Amino acid sequence: MSEAVGQNEFENRVLELLGNEKAAAGEWIAALAAAQAAGLPGATREWAGMAQETLAKTGDVAGGIELLKWRAENTPADQMTPKDWLKAADVVAGSSPHLLALIQEAGFGQKLAARECVRRFRLLHGLQHGALCLHRTWGFGVVRRADALYKKIEIDFRGRPGHGLAMKVAAETLELLGDEHLLARWHCERDAIQKMVSETPADVVRAALASFGPLPVSALQDKLTSFGVVAEADWKRFWDAARKVLKADPLVEIPTKRTDPIRLLDRANGYDETWFDKLAPERDLKAILERARELADSPATLEAIQPPQKQILANRMAFVLKGAPSRQPGLKMQAAMLAARLGLQADDCDWPAAARDFLQDGALAPMLHDLPARELRPALEFLWAQDPAATQAALLGQLKHLHFGVLQETMALLLKQGAGEECRQIFAEACATHLVRQEMLLWILRNPAQAEEWDLPPPTVLAPLAVEELEQDYMGDRLKTQKLLREKFEDADWLRRVFDGMTPGRQRDFFKRLNSSSAWPGLDRQVMQAKVLKLYPHLQSVITGETDAQPVATYGSVTSHRSYRERQEQLEKLINVDIPANSKEIAVARSYGDLSENFEYKAAKDMQRVLMARRADLEAMMSKVRPTDFSEAPKGVAGIGSTVTLDYPDGRAEHFHILGEWDQQPEKHVISSNTRMAKALAGKQPGDKVLVPTEGGTEIECTLRSVEDLPAEIKEWVK
């Protein structure tokens, strides 16, 4: 009965507001918030729709947007669909073509969170003539006009007057500045701000922190000097004077580390009931983590937290653990770590279960890759403290798939915890099977003492594998690792270790490999060549084209008709399918306008460069290699077009069919003339002793039993 009476009371208030044409959005929001707090969600949604229509009839667009914002922040995600939010926004717009265009560009009706759509809508609506804004790239700007027809915003940036931004791009990259923002004041009252810089620098810092949020000293300096508020030459004087005042201000928190941010506090005691009241409704995952980390870094304050406040912390941490999206597992891990530091109980916030989840089914590597670099070591140590055996097993299982930065931290932990032998086995197996990725290669090359202790292949063996990795098309973290690996070839001491371990013939072959590799563009290739030739002048003949006096059983660069045809098909597909499709993507992306801010256009152009490079590589290879059936092969001497049989010291025998550069078929014993085995056998005759490579990267002396013509089945295979 009391519930019905309560609902009647709220209905009367709604009727009262409906009858008041001058009722403001704030009055509606207060009434709706009270109804929601009283436990009337269904009625609240209905009344919110009525309020939206009432404000629209009175032409209160700003009020309608504020009400829409309140609804987005207080309506559960499962209670309104994107179409419902689009209808609500359309009510605000009415018949205004300008507002309807803004709604479309804000993302209503699409798979975008309602809060984000409303944020974009509010921002676009505020971008009127004369509005002040901030762009992440172009800096401070003044809006010239908003063009709803062409869906563009024209803004005067410093050095770029009249710059046009697509509305969608503007909604994502612009920040609307209020009158109190430091840059707005710098624009409107420059003399007053200059006086503050000279006389009260601490006030300028407070204004900057209030405008930009918490900032480390370096970021604060960059903001103030890049916008011209403080002259670069005057920074030291400015900061010394400001810091002296701010250190005595209980409302400013200056950390001991320069890399930590300076913060403004609401009160001298930054963690009172007001602080927790603000935390309780927070739904932004990163903001929750930042506040929790701030609290965890204050042990004295942490000890004074009362049970109700701790319950708020547990509730917000549980919210992050459940709400962290699958594409951002690092947020979930950070929440688990912070919950443990805050001393939260598993009953209130099951962070131990979240930690265990990362040790199952390959979930560890994606999480570690998503973490900020500063959190890697704490995260690994945290997991180890929870379950050492499971953590070790998970890390060893993912070792081959880790990016280099994560691999470094992981190896440091595993070696510290005595798991060196298990790591050695994984590295040795990867090297023996030539399946070692560039991250593991780089780790081996950067840890030569450990590699020697584990008896891993020396740089002489690993260098060719490194070249193969450098020729791959990588992006992101793998591209960064590739650059670090390429730097090894710029190290004269390392190059000496590589070439000193080779015979003269192998030195020539490897230098040829470097010169023909796509891993180095023209100028870089010349620098690399100069470094090698300075150490080994006799390799100059590789570049000049001089040949050795000894004859070899080969007759130019050849491959089988089969392999040549496969490369030809790849080239035809590039020319006739992939490149035309890419050209269409570029044309479509151009239609989106503003190429400088067009992600789709940039991505398509990047792919065009990749495709053209592949086409050039294939055309270059096919111009140098000719197809053959190997009928011209020399007789009685090992080389291209021959079948050889080797006797090993342990009594076993192996046979190989040596074909052309692009031929490789292990199950048929077909090997390329570019392999180490084929090069070791080239020019040998039956009865000769030959040093041939083994799977472990070493060499063993064998006897060449026989050299024969290719059998009929292989001759058929090459066609």
Q: Which residue has the higher pLDDT, 143 or 278?
A: 143
Sheet holding 160-166, edge to edge: 160-166, 152-157, 139-147, 132-135, 174-176
- Dihedral angle over CA of 479, 480, 486, 490, nearest 10: 150
pLDDT at residue number 1: 36
pLDDT at residue number 558: 83
Q: Express each pLDDT in 119-133 by its tens digit.
A: 999 999 999 999 999
Rounded mean pLDDT, 536-546: 78
Distance CA 705, CA 554 (A): 20
Give the count of alpha carbons within 13 A of 76, CB side only: 6
pLDDT at residue number 3: 47
pLDDT at residue number 121: 94
Q: Express each pLDDT in 580-634 by its tens digit.
A: 788 778 777 766 665 556 667 777 777 887 887 787 777 777 767 788 888 777 7
Q: Express each pLDDT in 470-520 by its tens digit.
A: 888 888 888 899 899 988 888 889 998 888 877 777 788 888 888 888 888
pLDDT at residue number 239: 94
pLDDT at residue number 371: 93
CATH of 558-626 among 1.10.3470.10, 1.50.40.10, 1.10.287.180, 2.40.50.140:
1.10.287.180
Provide φ and ψ at 598, rounded to 5°. Answer: -95, 100
Chain-centroid distance of CA 215 in Å reads: 23
Q: How many helices and strands, by DSSP H and E, does the chain display?
A: 37, 14
Res. 549 pLDDT band, cuts 50 70 90: very low
Q: Express each pLDDT in 328-366 by its tens digit.
A: 999 999 999 999 999 898 888 999 999 999 998 788 999
pLDDT at residue number 546: 54
Rounded mean pLDDT, 127-144: 92
Distance CA 205, CA 688 (A): 82
Residues 6+ apart with CB under 8 A from 122: 65, 69
Q: Which of 622, 620, 658 is nearest to 642 (CA)?
A: 658
Query: Which residues are bridge partners to 706 per DSSP?
Result: 645
3-state per-residue secondary structure call for 450-469: HHHHCCCCCHHHHHHHHHHH
Distance CA 329, CA 692 (A): 48
418: left (phi over 0), alpha (psi -120 to 50) or beta: left
Q: pLDDT averaged over the chain? A: 86
pLDDT at residue number 599: 67
At the top level of CATH, the class of 642-717 is: alpha beta
Q: What count of other Cβ atoms lies within 10 Å of the Cβ of residue 671?
A: 20
For 162, the enclosing helix (H) or strand (E) is strand 160-166
Res. 169 pLDDT band, cuts 50 70 90: very high
Give the count of alpha carbons within 13 A of 239, CB side only: 18
Residue 60 token pair: 């209160």
Considering the chain, what percentage of its residues have pLDDT values greater than 70? 94
Q: Express each pLDDT in 223-248 by its tens digit.
A: 999 999 999 999 999 999 999 998 87
pLDDT at residue number 180: 93
Q: Which of the 8 DSSP states describes residue 634?
A: P
pLDDT at residue number 422: 92
Q: Which residue has the higher pLDDT, 613 or 201?
A: 201
Report the Cα–Cα distance between both ends of the chain, in Å, rounded. Answer: 91
Rounded mean pLDDT, 624-648: 84
Residue 561: what residue type?
H
E-strand stretches of 5-111: none
Q: Are 467 and 457 in contact (CB under 8 A)?
A: no
Rounded mean pLDDT, 104-123: 91
Question: What are the C-alpha distances in Å from 151 to residues 83, 104, 113?
Answer: 22, 10, 22
In sequence order, what DSSP letters do the residues of 412-428 get, joined into one string? HHHHHTT-HHHHHHHHH
pLDDT at residue number 5: 45
Per-domain boundaries in the chain: 2-126, 132-176, 182-264, 558-626, 642-717
Distance CA 35, CA 10 (A): 7
| Helical packing angle, 114-126 and 97-106, nearest 10° | 140
Considering the chain, what percentage of its residues have pLDDT values greater than 90? 39
Token pair 């009337």: residue: 40
Rounded mean pLDDT, 663-670: 89
Rounded mean pLDDT, 204-209: 94
Q: Which residue has the higher pLDDT, 170 or 42?
A: 170
Q: Which of 400, 532, 463 is nearest to 697 (CA)?
A: 463
E-strand stretches of 543-651: 558-560, 626-628, 642-647
Provide φ and ψ at 327, rounded to 5°. Answer: -80, -5
- pLDDT at residue 268 above 80? no
pLDDT at residue number 604: 79
Q: Express each pLDDT in 45-95 by its tens digit.
A: 888 888 888 888 888 999 999 999 999 988 888 888 999 999 999 999 988
Q: What count of other Cβ atoms lies within 10 Å of the Cβ of residue 382?
A: 18
Question: What are the C-alpha distances in Å from 427 to residues 194, 196, 438, 489, 681?
Answer: 61, 61, 12, 22, 29
- pLDDT at residue 396 above 90? yes
Residue 393 token pair: 């097993």
Query: Which residues are bridge partners to 646 per DSSP?
Result: 654, 704
Distance CA 597, CA 44 (A): 41
pLDDT at residue number 550: 37
Q: Are 503 and 475 in contact (CB under 8 A)?
A: no
Q: Are 294 and 316 in contact (CB under 8 A)?
A: no
Res. 380 pLDDT band, cuts 50 70 90: very high
Distance CA 606, CA 590 (A): 14
Rounded mean pLDDT, 254-274: 74
Rounded mean pLDDT, 680-704: 86
- pLDDT at residue 269 above 60? no
